[in-house]
Structure 1
């Protein structure tokens, strides 16, 4: 008996073996060896061994992922996959669609505390035929403890920049019930994000995650999951006098919470099975200058879904058919003080979808085809498709290919946003659309995994900013040209023993968009070259992990500089850098571990976003207590 994807179906073992269950490459839980999709998994062991504070720290280590943090830890964090936009990543947390409708439908990775995560899964490429809007660059699924063994743990850590971190988690398994709960808190005085000499820009983050399942009958599983986070982030904005980037006292209070309940009948490999589920998500964002409120937004999303699965055999042909229907309603509210209420908005929208997926296995071939129809009440409907095939050639070799399409809804701000004398939204926008394909060759044998993947994607109807010099008003529009993304991903994994696991990856990306003259220009904040090396393991009483992440040179827009040639803000170069981190733990007695951790070990003074300084080298130490684990 399993829960419906994208909820976790099994716990990963290592980050380099190819026997994990993948929950977002199909609406059916699938072993990695049986999916054509480009998948990366960060398992519980690697999360323990590196102990980085945010989920984005782990995503930075994966192929074709560009992470841009606007200052110290806790600042706005954008994740771009395969050159796509930051709001083209779809995020699931414990099976709940978690993109924030109150913040441009973007995933709020700056709020996503890694101490409530047990597993992170990334599927690259357009996946809207399976999961709908925002799944253009890829899908990220973050899962907590699935509840397989009774036990609990406590962790406390302190270190540089007056950073304090603590977490507690527990799991109960018995009598048909599984229950897990995790609590986490992080707080830091931070560093000055402007020039290093001003006020400290810190953050405070409290998070909670819970999950409960009940095997009510042999063929009936009932479950619920929930998460919530509340965070305060301080940052440097723009001067109200010069309108230039300055050392200000801006801060934002963010709250995000969600709950999901489901009931599953039958198992995936039964002739018939199905799931009904309902979820709700609520978010709010309050922006202030020092203690003075500027504006606030809040939103909610309510989702009802049903899924029917059919499994059959015809000789050596194994077949699955999935039919899924969904209804989603969103409400958005904006209020301001700075503009006397002129930017206030009360908007709503809804959409319905139908998805049909066919998956088959015949001898050494695995095929998958999906089609989805999204019906919107605010803009044009959309149909997306996806098709893939995987062929096992023998002696550990495989070849795979896929074609996929993606869409992204216009945000509430794109459609209806308003600032007096500055910005007016465009209610005539249509969804962005992307299509592309990939091909890969893979080899795995005796603890080795090697793969080489090439991909190509095209984005149309991209939503871009516009400016009218006669009225001095900005707005949004669907671009007439095509944005192009293509690249190559190389991965190598080696798992010789529990004492050593190694994974390395290197990525090449060419991402361009058309300018007003129709010429293709480089997309900003996307490095041409990137890569990572990760090693971890356990030996006796020691546990250890080390990571190196390379982010190559890229460009960004400096809004403080004007380019007279393009008559717009100047595009500047950001240098490449290497981020190094490591953690070592020593078990002084059963259930008691002391550890030390270092981040940005080379003390790089780098920039992910022009004008925003991240933190330098940090050293932290702590203790972890565990019972039953």
Structure 2
């Protein structure tokens, strides 16, 4: 099932929430126009993606106020997606509606087989969505869309920057009769901005659409191979870490024609992960790297039945998750050899299945809309742990239009998150997993308003999330190891505000300033756990985040400046180490960064220069990992219709 349908028109000047009646989104099982639904959705189309000072999905998401994008490595090397104060394991990542979450660890959720420049759109749904998308859509969902164009087109991009940065991207769209093909490849590398932060990344992706009399088939396939220096990624005690990830992806979806809509999808993702605690010169006690093979495959179907009483959706989802590893899982009866690796075998493994049934009904009565539904979920691993494995998750969204431009909304939704294999089984020099972990659960209430007119779009909301059994890696200051535990409760209260001004639409003519956007997220978290516990993830939430965007002309109409300002004030602390590796808890300090792109468009050619963190601010966004300072880049893009 497609997460959101596509906008009917695009505007390269804005990163905003779409409040346009003609935009249809799927924040529920039944698509609704934006004017009828009651959720906060941020939509970034392909033209916006091409224009902003970003080279990867993590950079794009950092400009969304509701997203706490904590990057360990820059430019898509590795990033944790946290929505509205949740953890990186609580956000669901989708590719064309396909669940891409990695059951090994949420650190790999944003590892996708497609480059940012092949995306048709990126969408962010804020708030729980388990009754729509199943387990793990705990605090929100992010969907990356691709789409073959209805024309022949060639696109190329060459970029270079400091620290030996290079990027080369090629994209071809081909159409013939009832078939459309998107073929793209990308390569990027860097020597690293500090020691052991180098990376090399290769991606190939295909999306084909085939029209038949009964409907349309969409076939996607992708491969990504990425290796990178992981300086202090998981512990500063071992700064010379290295990681290699490979991902193979395939999916097939059919969308029928007709009054009753039926959309089945099958998919398969296989990930290989090699983690080296010592990239070179290992300690005498270190004998093997960590090897993992993850398989996630599934089938889902969604049926939409219209009637005089509204639209009813019935859906089913079945997902298999299996791991082979030399460190994660339960002991295998017979070890399995690892291709290309001598003297090491997969000695552990685990399999689990998750089944979900969805039921939802939507009603539109004049100015009032309602969407209510249930998810019935059964998980085999939860059943093995002593529970019955069966859960029900209801939810409802309501909205009412006070005027043509102002709509009030309220929602009440429940959500769940299943522990990852790392949560359950990882045993390392600084971490201990916990095989007795229970699933996380939460109930979220939200009220808000949305306002839109020709030149101004805004939303504001208040929400509270009551979480139970929240999983976190914690320890007491006197301890050396982090332990995975279920915190008793974690209640999160938040305020969101999003606004975007289009000055040219206001004045009806070209102006120096084109657009201005101002967005804010404020959070307060109460925990039912010992105050002396040190949290590694769940309590390191943002207190405040402000994003500001300004786009304006520079002398010529074709010369454009795009500024992105981000301010973050984070709760919590991290363990800092001195030269003798003596630990000391250090509070996160607030910081502000500014990114800028200057671009010039001439016919089919697009020239740009950009810099991230242009004021060279020193900050820590994740533990002891220093973030890049000022980083200059420049590139040329060609976009040619044939």
Q: TM-score, normalised by structure 2?
A: 0.86
Matched with 2:567 is 550
Matched with 1:182 is 184
1:11-410 matched pairs, under 5 angstroms = 13-14=10-11, 15-16=15-16, 17-19=18-20, 21-104=23-106, 107-108=109-110, 113-192=115-194, 199-217=195-213, 219-237=214-232, 245=237, 248-267=239-258, 270=259, 272-288=260-276, 289-290=278-279, 294-313=289-308, 319-335=310-326, 344-379=347-382, 380-410=389-419
TM-superposed CA distance for 1:104, in Å, is 4.7
Question: Structure 1 residues 75 and 275 mapped into 2: Cα distance closer, same or farther (>3 Å)?
Answer: closer
Matched with 1:495 is 502
Question: C-alpha separation between the residues in 1 aligned to 2:632 and 2:159?
Answer: 10
Match of 1:429 among 410, 420, 437: 437
Alignment partner of 1:438: what SS?
A: strand
TM-superposed CA distance for 1:161, in Å, is 1.2
TM-superposed CA distance for 1:345, in Å, is 1.6
Larger mean Cα displacement after TM superposition, 112-121 or 280-289: 112-121
Alignment partner of 1:497: what SS?
A: helix
Match of 1:414 among 416, 423, 438: 423
Q: In 2, are the aligned partners of 1:465 and 1:477 still within 8 Å (CA)?
A: yes
Question: Structure 1 residues 437 and 106 mapped into 2: Cα distance closer, same or farther (>3 Å)?
Answer: farther
Question: Structure 1 residues 225 and 103 mapped into 2: Cα distance closer, same or farther (>3 Å)?
Answer: same
Q: In 2, are the aligned partners of 1:8 and 1:94 still within 8 Å (CA)?
A: no
Matched with 2:544 is 529
Q: In 2, are the aligned partners of 1:89 and 1:137 still within 8 Å (CA)?
A: yes
Question: C-alpha separation between the residues in 1 aligned to 2:415 and 2:301?
Answer: 22
Match of 2:470 among 447, 450, 462: 462
Matched with 1:587 is 601
Alignment partner of 2:621: what SS?
A: coil
Give CA-to-partner distance per residue, 1:186-228, whole Å, 9 cap, x none.
2111122xxxxxx3421111222221111101x4211212333
Unaligned runs of 5+ in 2: 283-287, 328-337, 383-388
Matched with 2:285 is none
Question: Structure 1 residues 608 and 392 mapped into 2: Cα distance closer, same or farther (>3 Å)?
Answer: same
Question: C-alpha separation between the residues in 2 aligned to 1:417 and 1:88?
Answer: 19
TM-superposed CA distance for 1:468, in Å, is 11
Matched with 1:195 is none
Question: Structure 1 residues 473 and 614 mapped into 2: Cα distance closer, same or farther (>3 Å)?
Answer: closer
Calculate the aligned-residue CA RMSD, in Å.
3.1
Question: C-alpha separation between the residues in 2 aligned to 1:604 and 1:468?
Answer: 31
Matched with 1:599 is 612
Give CA-to-partner distance per residue, 1:358-403, whole Å, 9 cap, x none.
1111111111011001111111222111100111111411101101
Q: In 1, are the aligned partners of 2:100 and 2:109 still within 8 Å (CA)?
A: yes
- 2:523 equivalent to 1:509: yes
Question: Structure 1 residues 118 and 258 mapped into 2: Cα distance closer, same or farther (>3 Å)?
Answer: same
Q: TM-score, normalised by structure 1?
A: 0.87
TM-superposed CA distance for 1:109, in Å, is 5.4
TM-superposed CA distance for 1:473, in Å, is 8.0
Give CA-to-partner distance per residue, 1:551-588, whole Å, 9 cap, x none.
12432221649xxxxxx975421211222112122234
Alignment partner of 1:328: what SS?
A: strand
TM-superposed CA distance for 1:543, in Å, is 4.3
Give CA-to-partner distance per residue, 1:493-552, whole Å, 9 cap, x none.
112438623321011111232323699999543221111112347874334422111112
Alignment partner of 1:353: what SS?
A: strand
Larger mean Cα displacement after TM superposition, 179-188 or 27-36: 27-36
Matched with 1:622 is 635
Matched with 2:623 is 610
Q: In 2, are the aligned partners of 1:416 and 1:427 still within 8 Å (CA)?
A: yes
Question: Structure 1 residues 328 and 43 mapped into 2: Cα distance closer, same or farther (>3 Å)?
Answer: same
Question: C-alpha separation between the residues in 2 aligned to 1:8 and 1:504?
Answer: 26
Question: Structure 1 residues 587 and 415 mapped into 2: Cα distance closer, same or farther (>3 Å)?
Answer: closer
Question: C-alpha separation between the residues in 2 aligned to 1:249 and 1:298?
Answer: 23
Alignment partner of 1:53: what SS?
A: coil
Unaligned runs of 5+ in 1: 193-198, 562-567
TM-superposed CA distance for 1:153, in Å, is 0.8
Question: C-alpha separation between the residues in 2 aligned to 1:518 and 1:468?
Answer: 6
Matched with 1:564 is none
Specify which structure has the bigger relative contact order, considering alpha-carbon pairs within 8 angstroms and separated by 6 or more residues: 1
Alignment partner of 1:47: what SS?
A: helix
TM-superposed CA distance for 1:439, in Å, is 0.6
How many residues align? The count is 598
Give CA-to-partner distance per residue, 1:405-447, whole Å, 9 cap, x none.
111001123333345x876644333211011111111211122
